[in-house]
Amino acid sequence: MDSHAVPSSATPEDRPARLSVGVVGAGRVGTALGAALRLAGHKVRAAAAISETSRRRAAERLPGARLVTPQEAVASCELVLLTVPDDALPELVAGLVATGVPVEGRLLVHTSGRYGIGVLDPATRAGALPLALHPVMTFTGRPDDLNRLAGIRFGVTSPPSLRPVAEALVVEMGGDPVWIPEERRTLYHAALASGANHLVTLVVEAMDLLRAAGVDDPAGMLGPLLGAALDNALRLGMNGLTGPVARGDAGTVAGHIAELAKVSPESARAYVAMARLTADRALAAGLLKPEDAERLLEALADS
């Protein structure tokens, strides 16, 4: 037996290269990732939280972490999660460097989808080690947030020399790293936001319209349909499209728009925009005949 082998009874804390971790922004994401790193054996020693809700969340999810200022969190830890809103991140990074807090040799990890490592440049010039690790998941602040990390993708941007570190951290948190070039971060994030955020709006709007149509349990009616539609889209792409646009049924589409205009003009406008995009994609995919597409687009233009 190899004398250097780790005993099977070893705990996460016994693994090599365990780091002291600080969390600046103890919100839903920061505490979930901090808790995941803690489970992997890292020691979460400090958390910066402003609101009472954040303080309570830090106490629940990050037991043993001291509540400190952002500067103290950076100064006292080897790895610091910067989990603040996107718009606050540049100012936070610049502010930390301006105060003279020691960042040299420390891993500074932000979780913004919008930014790559460029937003960390002020700290990088001062010697910090920059990582962008964006978990592709929604977090609600509920206890099951930690479980949501299992098997998800992380959009990762890092200097080439730090790729092994970034990959190891993501894997330890239960995720799978996907490398995103610095110049593509905004496009990457726009795609995710459009898919996830607009999906919520579409589903809630559909439920409201079903209630207006007299359906008592819109969620129960939509659940199986939307689950099948999402599965079809992810597996088959545009070949999973069904419905009146795919059939070239211009009369049905025109009727939908007319009725929606009576109930919800905002929904009618959204329907028209999505129907146009759907028709264009269906035509390009060969699912819609050119003559059918022409009738559909005429109906949409008339609306």
Boundary-marking domain end, from 128, 154, 180 = 180
Cβ–Cβ under 8 Å, residues 246 and 287:
yes
The rounded distance, in Å, linking the Cα atoms of 250 and 273 is 15
Q: Please check whether residue 263 lies inside any domain of the structure.
A: yes
Q: Are residues 237 and 297 both part of a single domain?
A: yes
Please tell me whether residues 26 and 139 are part of one structural domain: yes
Query: Residue 294 domain-assigned?
Result: yes
Instruction: Give the model confidence (pLDDT) of 124-159 as tens digits.
Output: 999 999 999 999 998 988 888 889 999 999 999 999
In the prediction, which pLDDT does 9 show?
45
Enclosing domain of residue 250: 188-302
pLDDT-derived band at 12 (thresholds 50, 70, 90) equals: low
Cβ pair 130, 108 in contact under 8 A: yes
Whether residue 280 is found in the same domain as residue 258? yes
Tell me: do 278 and 170 sit in the same domain. no
Interval 160-181 mean pLDDT: 97
Structure tokens given for 18: 């365990």
Judged by DSSP in three states, 82 sits in strand
pTM (predicted TM-score) = 0.87
Same domain, residue pair 197 and 257:
yes
Mark whether 199 and 174 lie in a shared domain: no
pLDDT at residue number 6: 37
**pLDDT value for 263:** 94
At 18, which CATH number? 3.40.50.720
Mark whether 68 and 175 lie in a shared domain: yes
Rounded CA-CA distance 279/285 in Å is 10
Count the domains in the chain. 2
6 in a structural domain: no
Residue 4 forms part of a structural domain: no
pLDDT tens profile 274-301: 999 999 999 999 999 999 999 999 999 9
Contact assessment for residue 250 and residue 292, using Cβ atoms and an 8 Å cutoff? yes
Q: Are 148 and 228 found together in one domain?
A: no
Is 66 or 3 the better-scoring residue by pLDDT? 66
169 to each of 132, 252, 295, how far by Cα in Å?
11, 51, 53
Q: What is the mean pLDDT of residues 77-87?
A: 96
Assess whether 41 and 142 both reside in one domain: yes
Contact (Cβ atoms closer than 8 angstroms) between residue 124 and residue 102: no
Q: Are residues 222 and 288 in the same domain?
A: yes
Whether 146 is in a domain gets the answer yes
- The residue-averaged pLDDT of 57-71 equals 95
Which phi and psi (to 5°) does residue 81 adopt? -85, 120
From 157, 180, 203, give the residue that closes a domain: 180
Final residue before a domain boundary, out of 150, 180, 210: 180
Is the pLDDT score of 13 beyond 70?
no
Distance between CA atoms of 193 and 81, rounded to whole angstroms?
A: 22
Q: Do 144 and 194 reside in the same domain of the chain?
A: no
Residues 60 and 204 placed together within one structural domain of the fold: no
